[in-house]
Amino acid sequence: MSGREEKLRQIDRLVHSPVLQGSESLCKLLRYLADHALEHPGEPVKEQQIALEVFGRPGNFDPRLDSTVRVQTGRLRTKLTDYYHGAGAADSLIVEIPRGTYQLTFAARPSDAAEAVPIPEPLPAAVPQRPARQDRTWFAAFWAMTLVAAALGATILLRPPRQAVAVPAVNPILRHFWAAFLDNPEPPWVIFSNAAFAGRPDIGMRYWDEKRDEGQPIFDHYTGVGEVLAIHELDQFFNSLNHPLRIKRGRLLSFDDVKNNNLIFVGSPKENLTLRDVPSTSEFQFRTIEDGPRKGNVTVINVHPGAGESASYIASELPLTEDYAVAALVPGLNPAYHALILAGTTTMGTQAAVEYVCREQSVRVLLAKVGSPEGIRRFEALLHVTVKDGVPVSSELVALHLPKP
C-alpha cells in the first residue's frame, strides 16, 4: 500500500469512528484538510478558504466576526485526541492539527506509544474576547449582541437521543467519577444558565433588577458562549457512553425536576438563578461585589479557607486572562439523587469546569485528592483557569474541600 493510500485509509477510519460518527461538518472539515495536505504538502491553508469551501460562508467572510472555522477546527482537534486515547490507541498512523494552524499532519506512531498521544486541549470559545468597560451594563450588552447564536446553538441540542452505537469500553477513571449519574438508567437533566435581563437588544440591556425594574418585561433568551460549548462537551461525552441527557434552561426548572432527577448545573448562581433555591455548595459560594471598582463582578468566597488558601477569588479584569471556577458534587433535594455544579465567575470559567470533569487527565488528579474507592458522593473543588484570546486553555486544582454529610 502506498503512503498516500495509507493516509486516506486512516482518514476513512477516523470518519467512521464513534467519536466522529454523526458529526457531518467535522467529517467534511477533516476530509478537506486531509485532501489539502496530500495535494499541497507543506502549503498552509487559510481560514478564509476553509470558510468558503467547507462551511459555505459568503465571499465577504470576516474571521473577526465569525469564528466558525476556529471553533470547528478546535472541536475536530479535540475529537482526534479523543480517538487516539480510545479506539485509535494502537493505530500506526497519527493524524493531528497542530495548534495555531489549519495544516493537517500525518505521523507514524513512535515505538513509545505514550509519546505519540497528543495532550487534550480545551474547546475554543465561539467569539473572541474584546476589551470594554467593567460595568454591569456593558456585560449585559455584550451578551445581548454576541450570544444570540449561542442560545440558538443550545436549543439545537434539545433533540431525542441518538441510536446507540458500538463504542470502546468506558474509561475506568471517568466511569468511577461519573458513577452516581451513569448507574441511574434515567438521563440526568443538564440545567444551563438563563439570566433575566431588562431593556431590549436594540437599545441596550442590563441584568434585571428586582427593585429598579419592577413591572418591566423580562428578557430571558440568552446564555453564555462558555455554557453553549460546555453543553456540547457534555452531550458528546454522554453520547460516547451511550447514556442520554436531557437539557433545560434554568428558568424552566421545576420542583419536580429537582426532586426526581440527577442534575448537572452549568453556570454560576449569577446566571443560573435556580441554584439559589436548590441544594448547592457550602464551601465555595458565589457573591456579587456590591461596591468599589469591581462592583457588579462575581467573586468566589472560600467559607473555610485551609492552609495556603485565600478567603476569596476573582477573575482578572478585561481582557480576561484568568478566571476561577467551582466543580462540586452535592446531594440532591431527594437524597437518592445528586447535583453536579459546574460554574465559573465568567462564562469562560464555566466552560473550563465542564471540560475539567470530562477529561481523564484532570479527573485523575481530582480522584487522587478525593481518595474514595467506593465512589464519589460529595466534594467541592476550586479551579484556577488560564484564559488566552477568549479561550480557557488550562485549569489547575487549587483547593478541594470534602464537606461532611
pLDDT tens digits, 146-196:
443 344 344 434 444 444 334 445 678 888 899 889 888 889 999 898 777
| 11 assigned to some structural domain | yes
The structure's pTM equals 0.59
Looking at the fold, whether 92 and 166 belong to one and the same domain comes out as no
124 found inside a domain? no
Give the model's pLDDT for residue 253.
Answer: 77
Q: Are residues 96 and 165 in the same domain?
A: no
Eight-class DSSP state of 109: P
Q: Is 300 helix (H, G, I), strand (E, B) or coil?
A: strand
Pair 100, 140 in one domain: no
Q: Residue 405: which pLDDT band, with cuts at 50, 70 and 90?
A: low
Give the C-alpha separation, 390 to 126, whole Å: 9
The separation between CA 343 and the C-alpha centre of its own chain, rounded to angstroms, equals: 10
pLDDT at 2: 64
Report CA-CA distances (Å) from 260 to 184, 257, 359, 388.
12, 6, 28, 40
* Same-domain pairing of 29 and 58: yes
**Same domain? 277 vs 170:** yes
Q: How many domains does the chain have?
A: 2
214, 356: one domain: yes
Range with top average pLDDT, 35-39, 81-85, 123-127, 151-155: 35-39
Residue 123 lies in a domain: no
**Which pLDDT belongs to residue 153?**
44
Mean pLDDT of the chain: 80
Domain range for 379 is 136-401
User: Between the CA of residue 276 and those of 81, 145, 171, what are the distances in Å?
Assistant: 37, 27, 34
* Reported confidence tier of residue 373, pLDDT bands at 50, 70, 90: low
Q: Give domain status of residue 127, yes or no.
A: no
Q: In degrees rounded to 5, what are phi and psi of residue 286?
A: -90, 130
Contact residues for 158 (Cβ-Cβ < 8 A; gap 6+): 247
Is the per-residue pLDDT at 135 higher than 90? Answer: no
Residue finishing a domain among 88, 116, 144: 116
Residue 180: CA count within 13 A, CB half-sphere? 21
The total of other beta-carbon atoms located within 10 Å of residue 266's CB is: 31
